[in-house]
Amino acid sequence: MRASRFFISTLKEAPSDAEIVSHQLMMRAGMIKRLGSGIYTYMPMGLKVIRKVEAIVREEMNNAAAIELLMPLVQPAELWQETGRWDKMGAELMRVKDRHGREFAIQPTSEEVITDVVRSEIKSYKQLPLNFYHIQTKFRDERRPRFGLMRGREFTMKDAYSFDRDLAGMQQSYKVMFDAYTRIFTRFGLKFRAVAADNGAIGGTGSHEFHVIASTGEDALVYCPDSDYAANMEAAEALATGTRPAPGAALVKTSTPKAAKCEDVAKLLGTALSNTIKTLALTVEQQGEDGTAGKKQYFMLLLRGDHELNEIKVGKVPGLANHRFSTEAEILEVYGCIPGYLGPIGTKAPVTVVADRTVANMADFITGANEADFHYTGANWGRDVAEPAIVADLRNVVEGDPSPDGKGVLAIERGIEVGHVFQLGTAYSESMKATFLDENGKAAPLQMGCYGIGVTRILGAAIEQNFDEKGIIWPTSLAPFELVLCPMGYDRSELVKEETDKLYAAAQAAGIDVIVDDRGLRPGAMFADWELIGVPHRVVIGERGLKEGNLEYQGRRDTEATPVPLAEVVDFIKGKVQQ
Amino acid sequence: MRASRFFISTLKEAPSDAEIVSHQLMMRAGMIKRLGSGIYTYMPMGLKVIRKVEAIVREEMNNAAAIELLMPLVQPAELWQETGRWDKMGAELMRVKDRHGREFAIQPTSEEVITDVVRSEIKSYKQLPLNFYHIQTKFRDERRPRFGLMRGREFTMKDAYSFDRDLAGMQQSYKVMFDAYTRIFTRFGLKFRAVAADNGAIGGTGSHEFHVIASTGEDALVYCPDSDYAANMEAAEALATGTRPAPGAALVKTSTPKAAKCEDVAKLLGTALSNTIKTLALTVEQQGEDGTAGKKQYFMLLLRGDHELNEIKVGKVPGLANHRFSTEAEILEVYGCIPGYLGPIGTKAPVTVVADRTVANMADFITGANEADFHYTGANWGRDVAEPAIVADLRNVVEGDPSPDGKGVLAIERGIEVGHVFQLGTAYSESMKATFLDENGKAAPLQMGCYGIGVTRILGAAIEQNFDEKGIIWPTSLAPFELVLCPMGYDRSELVKEETDKLYAAAQAAGIDVIVDDRGLRPGAMFADWELIGVPHRVVIGERGLKEGNLEYQGRRDTEATPVPLAEVVDFIKGKVQQ
């Protein structure tokens, strides 16, 4: 490509609404252009990167025997009603009516359509397994779109759907996709981690997220440096630590005026936060059979003062699937006390105590006295209060917690979710009656998996991981161009022009994706553009060097240039590109 | 590709709603699958063809220095309101509201968005010319979607937009695109014709349509076999023929009971239809300044009895831009006669007579007498009635009419419109204030062109042109696979399997897009599938032939197979594919 025939548009300053570095740099490098909230035009420089992402994804999906098709953007409401997602998805699902008043969804994903395709195409177990994918525009009407391509409304996703005859087949298809994803992210040249994830509302039997590691990532990833254990924060199990010591102190009701938070109590009493217990009051309201509100049950969750609640885990405790936080009125009624001083000792009404595993192993702890401005110190299970009715994992793990696989302690890093593989099971095939006939001629629901990669999101994640003060640093496999040729005086020096054109032709012939900057910019402006855009390899062609038989190579992360003999430069670059 | 790893799904019968052959064959060959009215999933076999179309389009657009980007599907209403198209486009424009109640269009085309991009990016004449394109999903909420991909609602289009500093530049950009389109359709391997088109409502200074020739095409294409004149029916000019003969007959008022149509009159009087004149009554209603209906003007259009009215041409006659057909009440009032017997001789009220060029040259003609069941015969201009107030081209040309370039006579064939190039001028840039600074620092509106290719429509058009009773016959450049290998007993004969695998590898190495049918079908079913799907080249690998050192080649249009020596088969196929 010649720069004079391409469209390059760089900015010195990012627009003020670009909050994170990837958004700022993509705007400054002219890769995207805002059309509306969360809606971007992919400019030529950005589209080149998207196409590289797509090509790698497509190649590895094909290698993994997935078959590409293309499902429509505009999908009839009827299919979404079959699975109940028309109602469940809420405002995020963009809905549209045609001229006849018929309702449609603009696809945020395509489970319904692919299941509809498959239920009419698949008759027999002999046609299985099958895995269909497409790379298609998606729309999700996010409440608060932001961060450029990281949380847009219109975006590109690769979504694949596998169909198997039984659980073992589905798990095999899942493994094939997991391995393909590992190859894809490896080929992207990004540091990434696959973590076990919670299955969430979709149900199913297993799922993993693929995260690009970046300190700015919004997700906490839990892993064990000594084993292959890895999970996201929602799913990482916090084991019980140690065993409960014997009581050592006496129970004392202590005045703790205005110390409603564990931090304040610990400070006031001059003790560690980890000696305190945090109390959370929950209500579970049973729905009456006639749809009216029914009986209320009250639960008291106990966490160590320095630990964080994990809402997902709470929802999995038997009886707590439909919990909510108790209202202040409920708390006053049940505990006879304002929030901030609750505790398991001496509640007014019957309450089910649910203690985190760590709390169940504590002794001589500090807890609210169910009386404003008072706490107990030296509290002990069994002696001062009944053993907790339920002991469960309620908290987020922290660095240093034991790894659930018993092979060391946990570490935490930040990540950006860019892929998700999911064992769906029969959730969709049952609601949509997608069955096949097995060897005995009996109809059975298809076992499904689904597998997504956020194609446009990859760009943001790659930049969050790879940038410096000058701009983006693309991995070679994702860069809009692998190599930029920067001639010094292309329009003034015959020698420079001739050698540049020769090198351009030779690089193209060698299969290198090369751009020559023939715009006639001053060197400073030219270099600044390409450093901002983030092309990983640069060769400067100048008269002085040419007379000595050299060109100057500089990698995007290099601090200085390296002279390379003219005759060797193509092989040299080819070696760099293939690294 | 191995057929066992691809998805092949053929049908014996087409669904009953498939009215035309391309729709029937695409459904039967498993290329598309209906999701809703005018909305199709592109199945793996169909998507492969779409990708081939896209690749050729992309390559030639890039060669023509157009730059690819990707504009969003969901576009803010505000931009469409700037050009007035939000209101003008009516129900065909699919509109959607987001969760905040803001309005958007699902793009049917992208003039507004590209003009918005360019008005913020282009400052100076030095940045021009520019041509941006994208290949993107479009949605048009057609009143009556039908014919599969020929008139769908969701479809894929390549749309390009050029920006120039002046008219000459724009015309040059237009020429570059015209030439690129010519190369694209040539590479598709389709018989096509570029025809001059009317500019329609968008205005501008010139446009051409590219049509795939097919007897089932819905458009009539006019061309001169002896020159390069070609236009669509709307735009093809009908010249005056010959000169008006002197009157030879006397004017006679003749009883023509129940002969309200020219055909009936000619039959009744035993004369040629071309001796009759057809009368059409038009009304032009001037809008009062206060928006109320204003003064009415009446026009009488005269066409030769055997000619067809051309509505577009009528709209271009001075004063007739806003015409409508007169109501029966108006006709009774103005002509004092029921429709069917009107004529220029002796109208009750003042009427402007607009005669087609042919009519103005007629003598001794037959025309209505403005009295029910009566016509005049032997009528003559000047003698029996005043010369027509206006003489204009009002009709469709017919075969044998003189070519407007004076180089022969016109012929007519049918076509399917698959491309359109359009000189837009400043219509969009003026309404959206997209200007640049010229050499003198003065702001001027950008001169625009727009250029579309109906990517998915190409599939339908190609099939309408190329099919037989067995199925589709793809040109090699568009075929889902260039070559199919049909082994006879792949699962039974070691020899067949070995030679098939060798040939498969050799064909792939030679860059041939090959599929091997390893599904284990019987020969009849296997051949029928590939003939239906339309793969242009087939090689059968059988034990008997192998023992003689031969394979059997058959082109999709061949009536019988040709033996080809095993050692030569790859070169042989390569030669066929490159033809």
- pLDDT bucket at B290, cuts 50 / 70 / 90: low
Instruction: With a cut of 90, say whether residue B292 has pLDDT above it.
Output: no
- Indicate if A312 and A444 belong to the same structural domain: no
Q: Which residues of A touch B154 (CB under 8 A)?
A: 72-74
Chain B interface includes A505 (CB < 8 A):
no
For the stretch B58-108, pLDDT in tens is 999 999 999 999 999 999 999 999 999 999 999 999 999 999 999 999 999
Instruction: With a cut of 70, say whether residue B288 has pLDDT above it.
Output: no
What is the rounded distance in angstroms from the CA atom of residue A547 to the CA atom of residue B253?
Answer: 100
Which of B9, B44, B117 minimises the CB distance to A33? B117
- Indicate if A67 and A119 belong to the same structural domain: yes
- Indicate if A354 and A442 belong to the same structural domain: no
Q: Closest approach of chain B CAs to the CA of A358, in angstroms?
A: 43
> Is residue B201 included in any domain, yes or no?
yes
Chain B interface includes A485 (CB < 8 A):
no
Give the pLDDT score at A346.
82
Which of A67, A70, A73 minimises the CB distance to B7? A67
| Number of domains composing chain B | 3
Which of B43, B76, B120 minimises the CB distance to A69? B43
Nearest chain B residue (CA) to A123: B9
- Indicate if B284 and B217 belong to the same structural domain: no
What is the rounded distance in angstroms from the CA atom of residue B40 to the CA atom of residue A185?
Answer: 32
Contact check, Cβ <8 Å, B67/A6: yes
Name the H helices within A323-450. Answer: 328-335, 357-360, 427-431
Give the pLDDT score at B295.
86
> Is residue A475 included in any domain, yes or no?
no
> Is residue B430 included in any domain, yes or no?
yes
Which residue, B236, B215, B555, B575, is CA-closest to B409? Answer: B236
Give the pLDDT score at A271.
96
Give the pLDDT score at A305.
96
What is the rounded distance in angstroms from the CA atom of residue A279 to the CA atom of residue A383?
Answer: 19
Q: Closest approach of chain B CAs to the CA of A66, in angstroms?
A: 8
Give Cα separations from B462 to A59, A510, B17, B156, B550 (angstroms): 28, 37, 20, 16, 33
* Angle B220-B222-B226 from CA coordinates, rounded to 5°: 150
Which residue, B454, B435, B455, B438, is CA-closest to B446? Answer: B435
Give Cα separations from A351 to A332, A348, A472, B542 (angstroms): 13, 9, 56, 80
> Is residue A476 included in any domain, yes or no?
no
Contact check, Cβ <8 Å, A69/B139: no
Which of A98, A99, A113 minimises the CB distance to B41? A113
- Indicate if A256 and A347 belong to the same structural domain: yes
- Indicate if B511 and B440 belong to the same structural domain: no
Residue whose entry in the numeric block shows the structure tokens 């937009």: B161
Contact check, Cβ <8 Å, A39/B74: yes
- pLDDT bucket at B12, cuts 50 / 70 / 90: very high
Q: Closest approach of chain A CAs to the CA of B316, in angstroms?
A: 31
- Indicate if A50 and A175 belong to the same structural domain: yes
Q: Which residues of B touch A98 (CB under 8 A)?
A: 94, 141, 153
Which residue, A114, A117, A162, is CA-closest to A136? Answer: A114
The CATH number for A530's domain is 3.40.50.800
Q: Which residues of A touch B44 (CB under 8 A)?
A: 67-69, 132
Chain A interface includes B9 (CB < 8 A):
yes
Q: Which residues of B touch A132 (CB under 8 A)?
A: 7, 44
Instruction: With a cut of 60, say whether residue B203 has pLDDT above it.
Output: no
Name the H helices within A254-409. Answer: 262-269, 311-316, 328-335, 357-360
Contact check, Cβ <8 Å, B7/A130: yes
Q: Which residues of A touch B50 (CB under 8 A)?
A: 70
- A181 sits in the region (left: phi over 0; alpha: psi -120 to 50; else beta) called alpha
Averages of pLDDT over runs of 10 residues in chain A (579 residues) are: 96 90 97 96 98 98 98 97 94 96 97 97 96 97 91 96 96 97 98 86 73 93 93 92 91 94 95 96 81 82 96 92 92 90 85 95 96 96 94 96 93 96 94 96 96 98 97 98 97 95 96 96 96 98 94 96 94 92
Q: Which domain holds residue A187?
A: 3-237+412-463
Chain A interface includes B7 (CB < 8 A):
yes
Give Cα separations from A438 to A161, A260, A424, A531, B520 (angstroms): 20, 63, 20, 59, 20
pLDDT mean over B360-385: 96
Q: Closest approach of chain A CAs to the CA of B81, in angstroms?
A: 15
Chain B interface includes A65 (CB < 8 A):
yes
Phi/psi of residue A69, nearest 5 degrees: -140, -170
- Indicate if A149 and A224 belong to the same structural domain: yes
Chain A interface includes B141 (CB < 8 A):
yes
- Indicate if B517 and B559 belong to the same structural domain: yes
Q: Closest approach of chain A CAs to the CA of B502, in angstroms?
A: 20
Which of A41, A50, A92 minimises the CB distance to B113? A41
Contact check, Cβ <8 Å, B74/A33: no
> Is residue B243 included in any domain, yes or no?
no
> Is residue B404 included in any domain, yes or no?
no
> Is residue A209 included in any domain, yes or no?
yes
Nearest chain B residue (CA) to A140: B98
Concatenated DSSP letters of B241-296: -S-PPPP-S--EEEE-TT--SHHHHHHHHT--GGGBEEEEEEEEEEEPTTSSEEEE
Instruction: With a cut of 80, say whether residue B30 has pLDDT above it.
Output: yes
Chain A interface includes B55 (CB < 8 A):
no
Which residue, A401, A416, A326, is CA-closest to A357? Answer: A401
- Indicate if A29 and A163 belong to the same structural domain: yes
Q: Which residues of B touch A137 (CB under 8 A)?
A: 73, 137
Chain B interface includes A132 (CB < 8 A):
yes
Contact check, Cβ <8 Å, B47/A39: no
The CATH number for B310's domain is 3.90.960.10
What is the rounded distance in angstroms from the CA atom of residue B15 to the CA atom of residue A577?
Answer: 52
3-class DSSP assignment, residue B166: coil
Which of B75, B91, B113 minimises the CB distance to A99? B91
The CATH number for B190's domain is 3.30.930.10
Which of B43, B96, B137 minimises the CB distance to A94? B96
Chain B interface includes A258 (CB < 8 A):
no
Chain A interface includes B53 (CB < 8 A):
no
What is the rounded distance in angstroms from the CA atom of residue A314 to the CA atom of residue A323?
Answer: 9
- Indicate if A147 and A271 belong to the same structural domain: no
Cβ(A362)–Cβ(A344) below 8 Å: no
Give the pLDDT score at B274.
95
Q: Which residues of B touch A96 (CB under 8 A)?
A: 94-96, 106
Chain A interface includes B567 (CB < 8 A):
no
Cβ(B263)–Cβ(B304) below 8 Å: no
Q: Which two tokens stand for residue A293?
A: 């509100």
Cβ(B199)–Cβ(B454) below 8 Å: no
Contact check, Cβ <8 Å, A41/B72: yes
Among B1, B78, B96, which would you mutate to test the A interface (most chain A Cβ atoms within 10 Å of its Cβ)? B96
**Contacts of B57 by beta carbon, 8 Å cutoff, 6+ apart:** B135, B158, B184, B453, B455
Nearest chain B residue (CA) to A112: B35
Q: B36-56 b/e with 16+ CB inside 10 Å = b?
A: bbbbbbbbbbbbbbbebbbeb
What is the rounded distance in angstroms from the CA atom of residue B212 to the CA atom of residue A503?
Answer: 43
Cβ(B422)–Cβ(B451) below 8 Å: yes
Which residue, B365, B366, B337, B372, is CA-closest to B351? Answer: B337
pLDDT mean over B308-337: 92
Contact check, Cβ <8 Å, B137/A73: yes
Give the pLDDT score at A19.
87
Please report the number of interchain residue pairs, chain A to chain B, with beta-carbon separation below 8 angstroms. 136
Phi/psi of residue A25, nearest 5 degrees: -70, -35
Which of B5, B69, B98 minimises the CB distance to A43? B69
> Is residue A8 included in any domain, yes or no?
yes
- Indicate if A171 and A53 belong to the same structural domain: yes
Which of B35, B47, B117 minimises the CB distance to A68? B47
- The ipTM is 0.92
Q: Which of residues 513-542 of B touch A (CB under 8 A)?
A: none
